[in-house]
Amino acid sequence: GQQLWSERFDRTMADVFAVQDEIARHIALRVRGLVNGEELQRLARPQTTAAAYEYYLRGRQDLVPMTRSSLARSADLFRQAIECDSHYGPAFAGLATVHATLYEWFGSNQADLAGAEDASRRALDEAPELAEAHMARGCALAVSCRYEEAAKAFEDAIARNPQFFDSYYYYGRTACAAGDIERSAELFRQASEVRLEDCQSPMLMAQSLQMLGRNDEARAASRAGVRRAERMPAHYRDAQGEWLKLARENLQG
């Protein structure tokens, strides 16, 4: 529901495919972080059914607000993608991420812990070359408090796709949980640079910086997070209410 980019193209139609490639590159630069680079490449050469891919993209979209209801919708959409293609690795990775997030934020349900473990293993089995699969495995390991193994999985994900926001974001949360606050601040900084419209990563960076006693930097990061949140569509901004409240309190403190 929000326009991200537009541009006029005046070209001859002598080579329509070259024009398509040019437009695709422009779009890829603008949506970098919203859709990861590997998925952008798949647009040109789909490796699953159109229905599975659409359910997957819709599931990814509902991951962003990270509310209980949006995560439930996301899980349902990933399951529908898997029903369309039982070997679709990205959908298993998405489902693992949902289960891990539900476990961490909403009640530590053992079924979610098991779901994250099973789906992340299946993602790696189906798509071992995919950064998202390694990221999802890192999420599952992190909620099991296997922090060193999780860090290795996140590093593998970043090596495969340095422009994938989720790897930095969830790695940052894991580093913070493991007590490596310095590392978490750096990872949240990297996440905020990969996805320029995300508001959570600068707010989390602010919290890490505050824990390190770097208060001026923390206030600057909080201000950046608030500015980003205020530019978000209303339904996303409303879902970030608690984050916004904390960030504004940090600015007043």
For the stretch 6-21, pLDDT in tens is: 777 777 766 666 777 7
Between 160 and 32, the more confident residue is: 160
Which range is least confidently modeled, 93-107, 134-148, 231-245?
231-245
Q: Which residues contact 220 (CB under 8 A, 6 or more apart)?
A: none
Q: Which residues contact 145 (CB under 8 A, 6 or more apart)?
A: 177
Q: Which pLDDT score is estimated for 5?
A: 72
* Average pLDDT for 223-233: 85
Q: Which pLDDT score is estimated for 229?
A: 85
Q: Which pLDDT score is estimated for 241?
A: 61
Q: Which pLDDT score is estimated for 250?
A: 63
Q: Which pLDDT score is estimated for 45?
A: 45
Q: Is the pLDDT of residue 178 over 50?
A: yes
Q: Is the pLDDT of residue 206 over 80?
A: yes
Q: Which pLDDT score is estimated for 40?
A: 56
Q: Which pLDDT score is estimated for 124?
A: 98
Q: Which pLDDT score is estimated for 7?
A: 78
Spatial contact of 247 and 222, defined as CB atoms under 8 Å apart: yes
Spatial contact of 65 and 239, defined as CB atoms under 8 Å apart: yes
Q: Which pLDDT score is estimated for 17?
A: 64
| C-alpha gyration radius of the chain | 19
Residue 174 burial by Cβ neighbours in a 10 Å radius (0-12, 13-18, 19+)? buried
Q: Is the pLDDT of residue 50 over 90?
A: no
Per-residue pLDDT of 66-107, as tens digits, reads: 889 999 999 999 999 999 999 999 999 999 999 999 999 998
Whole-model pTM: value is: 0.79
Question: Helix %, strand %, coil % for the chain, to 5?
Answer: 75, 0, 25
Q: Is the pLDDT of residue 59 over 50?
A: yes
Q: Is the pLDDT of residue 126 over 80?
A: yes
Between 168 and 243, the more confident residue is: 168
* Angstrom distance (rounded) from CA 169 to CA 109: 22
Q: Is the pLDDT of residue 47 over 60?
A: yes
* Angstrom distance (rounded) from CA 15 to CA 193: 35
Q: Which pLDDT score is estimated for 91?
A: 97
Helix (H, G, I), strand (E, B) or coil at 146: coil
